[in-house]
Structure 1
C-alpha cells in the first residue's frame, strides 16, 4: 500500500515522484496504470511545491513600508 502523500517528507515525495517519472518515461506502463501514476505524480508535485513554498516563507519575511506596501525581502530571523 502506498503511503498517503500528506504523510511523506519532502525527500520521500521527491523520490516517489522520480520513480513515477521513470516508469512513465519507459513507455511500458499500461494506459490505466499510467493515468493513475500521472495523477499520483501530479499530487506529489503539488506536495513538493507546497513544502518548498513553506520553507521559503520560513526563510524570508517581507518588509513593508509605512503604507503596508512590500519594499523588499529580508532573511528569516531564527530564534
Structure 2
C-alpha cells in the first residue's frame, strides 16, 4: 500500500495516522531504521495538523449583533 502524501490529508486523517505512528514508536514495534522513518513521517504529520488548525482558527469569526438582535458585522475572534 502506498502512503498518502501528508499534504493531501485532511486534519482527521493526519491525526489518525499520527496517533498510529506514536503508538508504534511507544511500543517499540519497529526496528531502528524504520523508527527513524516513522519519526520523520510523524514530524511531517504534526506540522500538517498544526497548519490545518491555524487555518481553521483564521476562519473563525465572531458575529456582532445590533440592539434589535440582527447581525450587523463579523470580526475575527482574538485569542484562539
TM-score (normalised: structure 2): 0.74
Any unmatched runs of 5+ in structure 2? Answer: 63-74
Q: Distance in 2 between matches of 1:43 and 1:16?
A: 11
> Equivalences for 1:37-52 in 2 at 5 Å?
37-52=38-53
Q: Distance in 2 between matches of 1:48 and 1:20?
A: 14
Root mean square deviation of aligned Cα = 1.6
**Corresponding position of 2:33:** 32
SS of aligned partner of 1:3:
coil
Any unmatched runs of 5+ in structure 1? Answer: 62-72
Look at both structures and tell me which one has the larger radius of gyration over its CA atoms: 2
Query: How many residues are matched?
Result: 64
Give, in angstroms, the shift of residue 46 of structure 1: 0.2
Runs of 4+ more than 2 Å apart: none
**Corresponding position of 1:15:** 16
TM-score (normalised: structure 1): 0.75
**Corresponding position of 2:68:** none
**Over residues 26-65 of structure 1, what are the superposed CA-to-partner deviations in whole Å (9 max), with x where a residue is unaligned?**
112100000000000000000000000000011148xxxx
